[in-house]
Structure 1
Amino acid sequence: MASKSNSTFSVLGSDLTITGDIEASADLHIDGSVEGDIACSSLVQGEESRVKGAIKAETARLAGTVDGSITARELVILKTARITGDVFYDALTIEQGAQVEGRFAHRDAKAKAPGLTQPATKPELAVAG
């Protein structure tokens, strides 16, 4: 399944429920439900979307429910997001009102301390109003 197509954007509609892991080289927009891990270049999650599994992306913009760890270079957590799981990031923006149950760690700290015993040093953090 390593076929390359000209499509650079994939959409999983709100009526779609997927059980299994998703790997995409393209950008991914999820409005439905996914039970499995997601790995993609860029992820946009709609407000009504639910993900139960780990997310790994270069950039992620989350607005729905996530139950699992998140690893992203650039992560935006919108006010409608409800996240349960650890968050690993290079740059992080959290809107006021977002709910996160888990630990935050800069990705450099994750590489140095797999048990998250050392605090992250000078992470980029922006709180949007």
Structure 2
Amino acid sequence: MASVLASDLVFEGNVSGAGDLHIDGTVRGDVKVGRLTVGETGNVEGGVQADIVEVRGRIVGAVVGKQVKLLGTAYVDGDISHEQLSIDVGAYFQGRCLQVRKGEPTPVSHHPQAAPSMGFSAPSYAQPVPAPAPVDAGQLIELKPASA
């Protein structure tokens, strides 16, 4: 039987445990449980980690799970690290999908909303990508095919 955070409740702080959690209210903090369901009225503002994550509501933060399901009413803004991922038609997702194979360590998320307490860190890139040169209105730009 899952613990339930009702739709009229707001919880500020981190939540952790080995059991099942169903969120219909709001959590402002990280959530680390065995199985997480975010209901249609549920809202998580922080990182999420669970073996099974089912989202009908809203998550703004990194998601780490073996099985991650975004149903049609889901809104997720953050990277998802997963073994299995399904996204239904109608779901909103902005971020990167990072597939993890069984036995590999879970990659570190690079989402700015992720909290240090869950082991997330800022990305590091080998070389910076140069910004494109500004283009003046009315300037003619000649496109050439790439050389082989």
Same fold (TM over 0.5): yes
1:43 aligns with 2:36: yes
Equivalent residue number for residue 71 of structure 1? 64
Matched, 1:17 2:30: no
For 1:81, the equivalent position in structure 2 comes to 74
- More off after superposition, 99-108 vs 51-60: 99-108
**Which structure's residues are more often strand, by fraction?**
1
Letter in 1 for 2:69: V
User: How far did residue 49 of structure 1 move?
Assistant: 0.9
Q: Which amino acid aligns with 2:39?
A: G
Gaps of 5+ in 1: 1-7, 118-129
Secondary structure of 2:33's counterpart equals strand
Residue equivalent to 1:96: 89
Counterpart in 2 of 1:29? 22
> What letter corresponds to residue 6 of structure 2 in structure 1?
G
Runs of 4+ in 1 over 2 A off after TM superposition: 110-117
Q: TM-score, normalised by structure 2?
A: 0.68
TM-score, normalised relative to structure 1: 0.78
Equivalent of residue 58 in structure 1, options 51, 74, 83: 51
For the 8 Å contact 2:100–2:107, the answer to whether it is kept is no
- Paired with 1:12 and 1:63, the residues of 2 have a C-alpha distance of 15
- Root-mean-square deviation over aligned CA pairs: 2.2
8 Å contact 1:105–1:116 — kept in the other structure? no
Amino acid corresponding to residue 52 of structure 1 in structure 2: E
Task: Point out where structure 2 has 5 or more consecutive residues left out of the alignment.
Answer: 109-122, 126-148
Rg larger for: 2
Distance 2:83 2:124 in 1: 15
